[in-house]
Structure 1
């Protein structure tokens, strides 16, 4: 199994055709076809099939794609690490965050200190939902991530707990159900979920599962946090929010606590579990490892 074969597999998948992949990789189509055939012969499976829509991956190809991306990213980071040690390149660190963890003061303070201490480091922060973060980690697209949800299946990832953020059920200040104390009385209300409704590990689903209640039938799925909060303020919707989301400077408001009311429910509302996660700490570049350690220390 050779790197050029893995690059070919990834590029063909991303472009959708041998012709486009050949232009990107500056190789002939016959060379790409030969590379893929050699890889398929070595593995004993078919990785790609041709259709009227172009080239697509088989089930075996999909599994191989994940490993190919990880291998290529690992090689890229290894080269960067050596070049960094030789003083020839600018370090790059890519950190993933969720809308909840992005609001945490220790994260903001750590990033500011890191930039001041290592001004030549290229720092990228990408915001996405917890499930997306984990997939990006497995695909090798992130150095590490600060997530607010522990999935039921976290095999192959290195998890380090940092803190817990209390969760609340919130409505707008003058909501007609603002005095409700029972979750059962909210089952017929319109809910907003910032995670996919099918995500069983989301705080929204955990709230009802932990209270032995069925999920509400009226759920608006909106993974855009700013939009979800603005709709919460301007409608009769109900939503699970973190304590950090009720602070200042969110969704264009000076202080969300001025616009939202948290319900004093009898049922327990799930906390948001904040964890820093990577594939393997030993694989982090020197610069990424420094930021990783600073982030852990800031929550200690």
Structure 2
């Protein structure tokens, strides 16, 4: 397989047609078709098929797409690393965070310190749900991530555990069930999950699984954290969140503990596991590796 073949596969998938992909890559449609055909012949599979929606990936093509993106991103970073060492380009670093890790004070402090120490670096910070972060890492779209959830499998990823943060079951002040002491009495309430309900590793799902209870039937999936908190404050819903979030300004409120309170249930509430994750630390550019180390030290010592 050659790089131009991988670029062709990614471009056709992202644009949905040979014509648009040829415009993006500044190549003829016949050149792109030939590149895909050569790769299909080499692998003995079909990667793309025509449909009424344009060019779509086969099952083989979908699997190949992730590897293609990783390979192209690895080459881009290798080139950037060399050019960066020569002082010819600005370093570009993209990291991912979750809503839980985004509010950690050491994260903010390190990012400010890093910008002062490396003013030539171009830094992007993306907030995503934990499952999305892992997919972005595997697709080569992030240098590394600061996540708050343990996955079902860590295969293919380099995990650096840092610390744990307590979870809390939370309701609005004056909630009629604010003084109950067992999760079972909250099971029939309206719940809000800020992670996809299909994510079995989420703290919401782990809370009920660990207590051998069925997941509440009345559950609203709302991955927009600020909206979820506003709904929580203005209703009789129940939600699990990190303890630090209770004292944080997330929705323009100086201290959410004035509006929300923790329900002291007897069942264990899952912790949030703070980890630094990348595909392989040796793949990080020198500048990205330095930021990785700074965050590792600051979050471990917090």
**Residue 254 of structure 2 aligns to a residue in which SS?**
strand
Quote the residue 1:152 is aligned against. Answer: 152
* Cα separation, 1, equivalents of 2:124 and 2:66: 22
**TM-score scaled to structure 2, two decimals?**
0.98
Quote the residue 2:183 is aligned against. Answer: 183
Quote the residue 2:287 is aligned against. Answer: 287
Q: CA offsets per residue over residues 92-135 of structure 1, 9 Å max, x none?
A: 11110000000001111111100011111101100000000000
Correspondence list, 1:172-211, <5 A: 172-211=172-211
**Residue 236 of structure 1 aligns to a residue in which SS?**
coil
Quote the residue 2:216 is aligned against. Answer: 216
Residue 262 (structure 2) pairs with residue 262 (structure 1): yes
Correspondence list, 1:62-77, <5 A: 62-77=62-77
Contact preservation (8 Å) 2:159, 2:275: yes
- The number of aligned residues is 300
Q: CA RMSD in A?
A: 0.6
Contact preservation (8 Å) 2:103, 2:248: no
Quote the residue 2:276 is aligned against. Answer: 276
* Cα separation, 1, equivalents of 2:248 and 2:58: 48
Quote the residue 1:143 is aligned against. Answer: 143
Quote the residue 1:132 is aligned against. Answer: 132
Correspondence list, 1:1-300, <5 A: 1-300=1-300
* Cα separation, 2, equivalents of 1:249 and 1:228: 14
Contiguous gaps of at least 5 residues in structure 2: none
**Residue 174 of structure 2 aligns to a residue in which SS?**
coil
**Residue 241 of structure 2 aligns to a residue in which SS?**
strand
**Residue 120 of structure 1 aligns to a residue in which SS?**
coil
Task: Report the CA distance between 1:248 and its aligned residue.
Answer: 2.8
Task: Report the CA distance between 1:28 and its aligned residue.
Answer: 0.8
Q: CA offsets per residue over residues 174-206 of structure 1, 9 Å max, x none?
A: 111111111001111000000001111000000
* Cα separation, 1, equivalents of 2:84 and 2:201: 39
* Cα separation, 1, equivalents of 2:45 and 2:96: 34
* Cα separation, 2, equivalents of 1:195 and 1:59: 27
**Residue 99 of structure 2 aligns to a residue in which SS?**
coil
* Cα separation, 1, equivalents of 2:119 and 2:180: 51
Contiguous gaps of at least 5 residues in structure 1: none
**Residue 249 of structure 1 aligns to a residue in which SS?**
coil
Q: CA offsets per residue over residues 264-299 of structure 1, 9 Å max, x none?
A: 101010000000000000100000000000011112
